[in-house]
Amino acid sequence: MSDSGAIGPAGAPATASAADSWRVTLPCTRAEAEAIDAASDLAIDAVLMTTEEVEDDVERWRLDAYMDAAPDAAMLAALGALVPSAGGRAAEVVQLTDEDWVTLSQQGLEPIREGRFVVHTSAHPPTPEPGTRAFLIDAGRAFGTGHHGTTSGCLAMLDRMALDGKRFAKVIDIGTGTGLLAFAALELWPEADVTATDIDPVAIEVTAANATLNGVEGTRLIVADGTLDDAIVAHAPYDLVIANILAGPLVSMAPEIAAIAAPGATVLLAGLLETQREGVEAAYRACGCTVEARDRRGDWTVLRLAAGAERYVPTQPFDPKGRDGWALDI
């Protein structure tokens, strides 16, 4: 069983908290799950999560909606409209306690290893291994525990680049979530200047706490909408740009990401479904980038691109429309 993704109200980053929350569950298909995960404009005040219940069965998926109040008829109707394959089937409605949230946030999160990195939660400490770097990242208020293919794929891509001898002096992780990818970059290139940003102030708080917990020092943290922050722009260009968010924001942000990339910089993109890959690649090709590598993980794809030989200059003002729905990973 694998999680496809999760988005919060109107596409905002999902957060798990609070006693007496509620969960609504409906069956769905993979196509419906992909449409939900890719949407950036769902006006539903709930955290939405889609899950594959039977591996490789496109008809056996599940939609879970988490909310902080008992669902009314309008909420149930809105959720039902997202999954027409359910055929009007009555939704399962469950009230959750604090204990339920703790269990949900930690279940199945055994340590994972990608290259030299081991990512684990407090509930599942790893067995120490020589030559590895362990990061303690608990599930909770921000995304990026490493257990989703998007984040694990990025870790693998970063580790592979280091093994291939790539060196970076200035790194930015856009939509950092828990800070994991920024921490990994700093571990691989300890002399690098690393910036981690997120549109969600809670994610930056979580990243700061995780940095302390894992003994990571020197990461610059910025709350920002995309690259639209004076400190980010003033510090450009970056020779490694990481953005693990969603396809919609990646496309919308292509010109501004290209604009802060140094000539020939590496751009690492994740959070996109394979079905969305061509659209994302086209957006970045239009900004002078070329695809160097792809890493497909189930339905998800990680892209490594190279910026153009000359620094990209946008031809029109940036448009923040379309970038609702930031960090994806759980």
The pLDDT tens digits along the chain (330 residues) read: 333 344 333 333 333 344 468 889 999 998 898 888 766 567 788 778 788 777 667 788 999 888 878 999 999 999 999 999 998 789 999 887 654 544 454 454 567 788 899 988 877 777 778 889 999 887 654 444 444 567 889 999 999 999 999 999 999 999 998 899 999 999 999 999 999 999 888 889 989 999 999 999 999 999 998 898 999 999 999 999 999 988 888 999 999 999 999 999 999 999 888 889 999 999 999 999 999 999 998 778 999 999 999 999 988 877 766 565 444 443
pLDDT of residue 315: 84
The rounded distance, in Å, linking the Cα atoms of 15 and 293 is: 32
**What is the C-alpha to C-alpha distance for residues 207 and 221, in angstroms, rounded to an integer?**
8
The pLDDT value given to residue 321: 65
Query: Superfamily for 140-306?
Result: Vaccinia Virus protein VP39 (3.40.50.150)
| pLDDT for the residue numbered 239 | 97
The confidence score (pLDDT) of residue 52 equals 77
CA distance 42 to 49: 13
Write down the pLDDT at residue 189: 97
What does the pLDDT look like over 238-247, one tens digit per residue? 999 999 988 8
Q: Which residues are annotated as a binding site?
A: 151, 175, 198, 244
Q: What is the pLDDT of residue 20?
A: 61
Q: What's the pLDDT at 324?
A: 53
- DSSP reduced 3-state for 6: strand
Q: Is the four-CA dihedral 99, 105, 108, 109 of positive or negative sign?
A: negative
CA-wise closest residue to 319 among 240, 225, 194 = 225
pLDDT at position 60: 84
Cite the residue boundaries of each domain of the chain with CATH code 3.40.50.150. Answer: 140-306
Q: Which residues carry a binding-site annotation for S-adenosyl-L-methionine?
A: 151, 175, 198, 244
Residue keyed to tokens 């081991």: 118
**Closest Cα to residue 166, out of 306, 323, 66?**
306
pLDDT value of residue 220: 96
Residue 324 carries which side chain, given as an amino acid letter? D
